[in-house]
Structure 1
Amino acid sequence: MDMRKLVGRNFARLRREKGLTQEQVEERSGFSQQYLSDLERGRRNPTVITLYELAQALGVSHVTLVEPDQECDQANL
């Protein structure tokens, strides 16, 4: 799977699990709502620093943003 899509999918899932809107993450992280929207759609290629800052805004480890999920693992078998 494309890493941008994986990060976007994980970010969107984690954001929803935390009950946060893109606007709330914007306030916490300083990244624009448009950037976050593009990220969730796999249209952004975030740096390691960006991943760390976004993870902090969500209250999770930056590693969780790049971990393949079960669906992705099964697709790669």
Structure 2
Amino acid sequence: MDIHTLLHRLAQNYRKHRIINHMSQAELAERSNLDEKYITGLENGRENPIYIALYKLSEALHLPHPMIDSIA
């Protein structure tokens, strides 16, 4: 799997769980203590995630830390 496919799947997985949890990007940003523009960039493939961001997103969405194992 190439890096672009991996990042796309990762972004879509977090977006899916954000929607399942009935959260806006703004609410997820607040709960994860990340900038809303960063969340938008991740979901749109413009930002490359760093591990700590993945950890914070997983915490906010009540998912395993981090959710990397479930993207393949």
- TM-score, length basis structure 1: 0.76
Q: Matched residues, percent identical?
A: 30
* Greater relative contact order (Cα < 8 A, sep 6+): 1
Post-superposition offset of 1:62:
2.8
Report the Cα offset of residue 66 of structure 1. 5.0
TM superposition outliers: structure 1 runs of 4+ over 6 Å: none
Q: What is the number of equivalent residue pairs in this alignment?
A: 69
Please, what is the CA RMSD of the aligned residues? 1.7
Q: Render the CA deviation track for 1:26-73: whole Å, top value 9, x for unaligned.
A: 11111111110110112221122211111001111134355236xxxx
Q: Computing the radius of gyration over CA atoms, which structure comes out larger, 1 or 2?
A: 1
TM-score, length basis structure 2 = 0.80
- Unpaired stretches in structure 2, ≥5 consecutive residues: none
Check 1:52–1:43 CA distance in 2 against 1; reply closer, same or farther (3 A cut). Answer: same
Where structure 1 has 5 or more consecutive residues not aligned to the other structure, the ranges are 70-77
